[in-house]
Amino acid sequence: MTDQLDRPPLLQMALRVEHDIFVVRQRGREVAAAVGLEHQDQVRIATALSEVARDLLRSVGGADVSFHADDGPDSRCHLRVDLVPIGPLPGDRYEPESGAVARLVDSLGVVRVGRDTVVRMSRRVPVTAQALTPERLTELRTELGQSVPGSALDELAAQNAQLIAALDEVRSQRDELAVLNEELQETNRGVMALYGQLSEELEETNRGVVALYAELDEKSAQLRAASESKSRFLANVSHELRAPVTAIIGLGRLLADSASDPLTEEQAQQVGLIRSSAADLLTLVNELLDLAKAESGRIEPEWAEVDLRPVFGQLRGTLRALATRPGVELVVEEPPSPATLRTDEVLLGQVLRNLLHNGLKFTERGEVRLRARRTDEHWSLSVSDTGPGIAPEQHERIFEEFYQVPGATRVGGTGLGLPYARRLVTLLGGTLELSSELSRGSTFTVTLPVAGA
């Protein structure tokens, strides 16, 4: 850690006047982008930095600001920002005026560095970012030192553009919810009563979001809420939907039970439609929850030595019931010994189960095969099928959220399974790739390191 503190900073600047707050925010976003933070995290740390800079300018007259790239205690690279006040802090303590500032970064507090009292914040750099080698850090210092900050108007224009994009995203989500509401209104009166209650709760949530973004328009300090709105909104809506949808499924099962009063053929058909629609909606809710959890970075793999043989055996047993088409065979090959690797067994099982389920769903004749092969220090787990195949221009698009390959062979689904599977594989330190041609089937290959990420 001492070596890291001795490194020269990526960038240094002074905070003395009100205009410097805009410059600090702009430069903070530039440094965050340079070290590889995602766009939302760039906005978060820039917003937190501008708030802390404003507080220090008002309370002690300014500070000296420096940006650093350090290795944290979790062995991950962190972007660290130090603000050294030019005057003593009251009580050697600092509390931001806005309580939301601390939630924008991974850490925010006051530390002692020699004789100086330093306000320090940090944000973790994604594992997918370019490695920050000493050569890369030297290159970044040169680039940042040569770049010229824009004006306050440029920074305000950039903030307005970010706010408009966030509002468009919320508006799009609200439009999707409106379509969903119209479909649910076609159910019976009992469903309508449940949906009415849910609609009121959703409208209250929407009003809260609208009020929040109105405040964001007035106070640029709270822009981080815009970048977090998607995951929070999906998680909240999904949680609110799960209970009434589960109740719908239960009511449908009771109505169709042979012990209940017999239904007419038309009533039985309507009840079957209700149960089918509710089951599809519950699947969507669960996938939205999984996706929101993955996007928020709250999935932490539980690393352990995993034997692939029982994992493959469990998949063979649980998925055999899905291979109901007479012309389709599910083949799970026994992995070669020793078939062990360091990974998270539950997350790996979710990925393979999703790929096998997709193969069985889209394959009308032939086979769906799971095989494992070890090459040097990596395992390659491939799921191949003899289905319709995927055109080359669609290979990356199928990993986008809610995207489904167009065509006559498309069956039910939400378009969330493959994006979620790729996120899980990335968390496990591996890759998920597709090899496919039209009319020649598809092969999805999961490559994982033997020793784990």
Per-residue pLDDT reduced to its tens digit, 190-210: 656 666 777 788 788 888 878
Instruction: Report which of 357, 373, 363, 367 is spatially closest to residue 418, judged by C-alpha positions.
Output: 357
Residues forming a β-bridge with 442: 385, 436
Please name the amino acid found at residue 16. Answer: R
3-state helix, strand, coil in the chain (%, to 5): 55, 20, 25
More confident residue, 188 or 384: 384
Question: Which pLDDT band holds residue 76 (cuts at 50, 70, 90)?
Answer: confident
Residues forming a β-bridge with 306: 341
Please name the amino acid found at residue 66. Answer: S
Q: Is the peptide bond before 419 cis (omega within 30 degrees of 0)?
A: no
Residue-wise burial string across 5-39, b where 16 or more C-beta atoms lie within 10 A, e elsewhere: eeeebbbebebeeeebbbbbbbbbbbbbebbbbee
Mean pLDDT of 261-266: 75
Bridge-based pairing of strands 328-332 and 366-375 is parallel
Cβ(437)–Cβ(425) below 8 Å: no
Average pLDDT, the chain: 81
Alpha carbon 426 to chain centroid, angstroms: 12
More confident residue, 100 or 152: 100
Share of the chain above pLDDT 90, in %: 26
> For residue 309, is pLDDT > 60?
yes
Instruction: Report which of 415, 424, 410 is spatially closest to residue 381, judged by C-alpha positions.
Output: 424
Mean pLDDT of 243-272: 72
Question: Which pLDDT band holds residue 48 (cuts at 50, 70, 90)?
Answer: very high
